[in-house]
Amino acid sequence: MQLDMLLVRAAERLARAGSPSPRLDAEVLLCHVLGVERTWLYTWGDRMAPTFQRARFEALVAARVAGHPVAYLTGEREFWGLVLATSPHTLIPRPDTETLVEVLLGLADETSGRLLDLGTGTGAIALAFASERPGWQALGIDRVSEAVALAESNARRLGIANVRFLVSDWFSAVAQQRFALIAANPPYIDADDPHLAQGDVRFEPRSALVALESGLADLRHIAECAVGHLVPGGWLALEHGHDQAAAVRELLEARGYGDVASRRDLGGQERVTFGRRPDQ
């Protein structure tokens, strides 16, 4: 069967299974099996698919029909123009989080400094920031050692040298250290949120998604602890749920952070809130 026809059939199956992006899923999975870029498919779609590659493709489509995220099936996802390895131990990097990277770059006006990324997962935030600010040192920490190993291998493969990763339960392994910027995309979804029963999140680690206190517990903990880990004038920037911006601004203001503001993601939702260290 020709590649074009394989794609049409796979996209139909994926659409019936409820994928929000059936054609794209089919193209990404086929490219993964063939080891080609998507533009290659547009030129060579009339070629025949070799039997063994077709069988591998069908197996991946079946897994996707069963709901598995494309990024786990291919083992990678692009974030900030960087191709990152992903694994079921980590959250899949999302375009929304690029808003947090933009905010961090806007706050990093010095030529050098130190950034801490809490709950780094694949390393997405630390790697994107470090790639744009070669004079800075980024440190990504995660409680999950598999995540730290994955983030380290991402840094090596991408050749990003000004970043380190460390196993740490929030601030425990950096007790004495201070940073000019602290960033986090922590768990912030309420355990009863119906969103958790749909799509890719069903396969992602719940520990990266769900937090107590209507999703605000980890955001609050970080806002409290970060005060002691920021240099004077340093900034804390937090990703949060689309309906949590007012609550997070309040968390920061109640603890004395200054110049508190929120930024919208590409979908128009308030997604990131940041503030300057309280004067002590």
The strand ranges marked E within the chain are 76-79, 82-85, 114-118, 137-142, 163-167, 179-184, 230-239, 258-264, 270-276
- 170 labelled binding-site residue: yes
The two structure tokens encoding residue 136: 């800075």
Examine residue 94 and tell whether it contacts ligand GLN (CB under 6 A): yes
Q: Does 102 bind ligand GLN (CB under 6 A)?
A: no
How far apart are alpha carbons 128 and 7 in whole angstroms?
32
Give the dihedral sign, CA 131/78/190/212.
Answer: negative
Separation of CA 278 from chain center = 28
Asked if residue 201 binds ligand GLN (CB under 6 A), the reply is yes
DSSP state of 266: T
Nearer to ligand GLN, 7 or 117 (CB): 117
Nearer to ligand GLN, 41 or 249 (CB): 249
State the nearest-atom distance from the C-beta of 76 to ligand GLN, in Å. Answer: 19
Identify which range of 88-96, 108-116, 222-230, 245-253 contacts ligand GLN by CB under 6 A: 88-96
Buried b (16+ CB within 10 A) or exposed e, 46-64: eeebeeeebebbbebbeeb
Is 187 one of the annotated binding-site residues?
A: yes
- Closest approach, Cβ 8 to ligand GLN, in A, equals 30
Should residue 92 be labelled a site residue for ligand GLN when binding is judged by CB under 6 A? Answer: no
* 119 assigned binding-site residue: yes
Q: How far apart are CA 124 and CA 130, in angstroms?
A: 10
Whole-number Å distance between alpha carbons of 75 and 69: 10
Whole-angstrom distance, CA of residue 82 vs CA of residue 84: 6
Applying the rule CB under 6 A, the residues between 33 and 62 that interact with ligand GLN are: none
232 is in an annotated binding site: no
User: Of the candidates 209, 237, 245, 272, which one interacts with ligand GLN according to CB under 6 A?
Assistant: 209
Per-residue interface string for the shown chain with ligand GLN, residues 126-165, x marking contact by CB under 6 A = ----------------------------------------
Q: Closer CB to ligand GLN, residue 41 or residue 226?
A: 226
Taking the C-alpha atoms of residue 1 and residue 48, their distance in angstroms, rounded to an integer, is 6
- Judged by CB under 6 A, which stretch of 91-99, 133-141, 159-167, 247-255 contacts ligand GLN? 91-99
Q: Which residues bind ligand GLN (CB under 6 A)?
A: 91, 94, 96, 185, 187-189, 201, 209
Binding residues for S-adenosyl-L-methionine: 119-123, 142, 170, 185
Which residues belong to the annotated binding site for substrate?
Answer: 185-188
